[in-house]
C-alpha cells in the first residue's frame, strides 16, 4: 500500500476546506436572500381548501362613481381625485341614488384638495361611528363623524389637527389607523434617498401620539432593497394593501409584488409572513430583469375580527402596463394566524371591494363594466 506524502495530504485537506467554505458561503447566501429583505418569521401556507363558488347580484346605480369603495350600513362612500367639488361621493345602495357629498374641496376652513379613503370604523365617546382620514397636501389628520354626517347630509368632523408627516418621513403616509387613546399607527413607505439613486428607504410603521406628534415606536418590516432593473418600481416592490383588525391589536399587509401575507402583532411587535405554497418569495424580486413584467399580485384586501380577505390578482408576463387589467374573481380568506381557511371564486371579476362584516356582504367594483356586484359570503 502506497504511503501518502505530506504534500498530497495537504492538497486533500485544502480541497475539503475549500468545498466546506463554498458550501457554507452558499448556505449563508441563501439564508441572507430569505431574511435580509423581510424582517419577520416566514412560513409557507401548505393547506389549500377547495374553491367555493359564490354568485353575485348586480346593483343598479344611477349615479356615476369612481375610486375606492367603503361600505357603512346601506351606503357606499367613494373617494377619488377626479371628483372636483367634494372628496367623497356617498351613494345609497338600495335606491342607487346619491345620498350626499362630503368634505368640500378648496382652500377655505375645513376644505382640502384631496383626502384619503376611509379604511376603519371606530366609536367615539358618544357611541357614534366615526372614521379617520388624512388630507396629505394640507398635512391634516381628521376624524369624520359617519352617523352625524349621514343624518344631516353635511360634513361633520369630530376633530381635525395638524399632522406634519414630512417631519417623520420623506413621503406622505400611505395608511393611517387609529389605535385609540390619541395613538396613531402610520405606514412610512419606501422612498428614494436624496443624493443616492440606488438607495431606497425601507417601509416601516410608526406609532405616535396625536398630542405630542412624536414617534413612540417603530415597526421595521423590511430592510433596504434595490434592484437596478426596476428603476422607480423599487418603491412599489415592497408595497402592500394594509388593514387593521377591528380590535386594533393586529395589522395585515397583503404584499403587491409577491404572493405573501404579513401579520404584525401591534402589542408585542412580532412580525410573521405567510407565503402561499408554490409562489415565489421576496428574494425573487432580485431576479426580475424586465420592469414591465413586475408581478403585481394582491390588489385589494379587507378584514373583520376573525378573517382576512385578499383579492388575488396574478398578472400575466408580457403585460405592457402593470397597473392595467388587474381584475380578479379569486378571494383568499385567511385567519389571523395566517392559515388559508377558504378560497372563494366569485361569479364576476372585480378590481376593488369593501366588506359589510355585520351582514357578511362583499361589494365589488368592476370599473371596466361600470358595475357594482354584491356577494353573500
**Sheet-wide strand order for 98-104:** 68-72, 75-79, 86-92, 98-104
Q: 79, exposed or middle or buried, with CB in 10 Å at 0-12, 13-18, 19+?
A: buried
What pLDDT was estimated at residue 193? Answer: 61
Read off the C-alpha cell for 191.
Answer: 422612498
User: What was the pLDDT predicted at 178?
Assistant: 94
Is-contact 284 238, C-beta < 8 A?
no
Report the alpha-carbon distance of residue 366 to residue 180 in Å, rounded. 34
Domain range annotation of the chain: 44-376
Give pLDDT, residue 164.
78
Contacts of 259 (CB under 8 A, 6+ apart): 275, 276, 279, 280, 297, 298, 312, 314
pLDDT tens-place values along the chain, 377 residues long:
455 554 554 454 454 444 444 444 333 443 334 447 889 999 999 888 999 999 999 999 988 888 889 999 999 999 988 889 999 999 999 999 999 999 999 999 999 999 999 999 999 999 999 999 999 889 899 999 999 999 999 999 999 988 877 777 777 788 999 998 888 999 987 766 655 556 667 788 999 887 776 667 889 898 877 777 776 676 677 889 999 999 999 999 998 878 889 999 999 999 999 988 667 777 677 777 666 666 666 678 999 999 999 998 766 544 445 555 578 999 999 999 999 999 999 999 999 999 999 999 999 999 888 999 999 99
What CATH code is assigned to 44-376? 2.120.10.30
What letter does residue 126 receive in the DSSP assignment?
T
Q: What is the pTM of this model?
A: 0.85
Distance CA 213, CA 179 (A): 14
**What pLDDT score was predicted for residue 27?**
39
Amino acid at each position: 500500500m502506497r504511503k501518502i506524502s505530506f504534500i498530497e495530504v495537504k492538497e486533500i485537506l485544502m480541497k475539503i476546506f475549500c468545498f466546506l467554505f463554498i458550501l457554507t458561503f452558499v448556505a449563508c447566501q441563501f439564508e441572507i436572500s430569505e431574511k435580509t429583505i423581510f424582517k419577520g418569521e416566514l412560513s409557507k401556507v401548505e393547506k389549500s381548501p377547495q374553491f367555493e363558488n359564490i354568485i353575485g347580484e348586480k346593483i343598479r346605480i344611477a349615479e356615476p362613481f369612481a375610486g375606492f369603495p367603503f361600505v357603512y350600513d346601506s351606503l357606499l362612500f367613494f373617494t377619488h381625485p377626479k371628483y372636483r367639488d367634494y372628496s367623497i361621493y356617498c351613494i345609497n345602495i338600495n335606491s342607487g341614488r346619491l345620498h350626499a357629498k362630503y368634505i368640500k374641496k378648496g382652500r377655505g376652513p375645513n376644505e382640502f384638495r384631496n383626502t384619503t379613503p376611509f379604511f376603519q370604523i371606530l366609536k367615539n365617546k358618544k357611541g357614534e361611528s366615526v372614521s379617520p382620514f388624512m388630507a396629505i397636501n394640507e398635512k391634516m389628520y381628521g376624524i369624520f363623524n359617519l352617523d352625524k354626517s349621514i343624518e344631516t347630509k353635511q360634513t361633520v368632523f369630530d376633530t381635525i389637527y395638524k399632522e406634519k408627516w414630512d417631519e417623520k418621513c420623506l413621503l406622505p403616509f400611505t395608511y393611517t389607523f387609529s389605535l385609540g387613546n390619541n395613538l396613531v399607527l402610520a405606514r412610512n413607505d419606501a422612498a428614494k434617498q436624496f443624493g443616492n439613486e440606488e438607495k431606497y428607504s425601507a417601509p416601516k410603521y410608526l406609532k405616535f401620539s396625536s398630542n405630542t406628534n412624536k414617534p413612540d415606536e417603530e415597526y421595521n418590516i423590511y430592510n433596504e432593497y434595490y434592484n437596478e432593473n426596476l428603476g422607480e418600481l423599487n418603491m412599489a416592490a415592497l408595497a402592500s394593501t394594509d388593514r387593521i383588525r377591528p380590535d386594533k391589536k393586529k395589522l395585515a399587509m397583503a404584499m403587491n409584488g409577491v404572493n405573501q401575507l404579513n401579520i404584525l402583532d401591534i402589542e408585542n411587535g412580532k412580525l410573521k409572513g405567510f407565503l402561499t405554497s408554490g409562489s415565489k418569495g421576496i428574494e425573487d424580486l432580485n431576479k426580475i430583469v424586465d420592469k414591465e413584467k413586475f408581478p403585481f399580485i394582491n390588489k385589494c384586501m379587507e378584514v373583520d375580527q376573525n378573517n382576512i380577505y385578499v383579492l388575488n390578482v396574478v398578472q400575466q408576463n408580457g403585460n405592457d402596463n402593470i397597473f392595467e387589467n388587474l381584475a380578479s374573481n379569486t378571494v383568499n380568506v385567511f385567519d389571523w394566524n395566517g392559515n388559508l381557511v377558504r378560497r372563494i371564486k366569485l361569479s364576476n371579476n372585480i378590481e376593488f371591494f369593501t366588506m359589510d362584516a355585520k351582514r357578511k356582504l362583499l361589494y365589488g367594483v368592476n370599473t371596466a363594466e361600470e358595475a357594482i356586484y354584491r356577494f353573500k359570503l
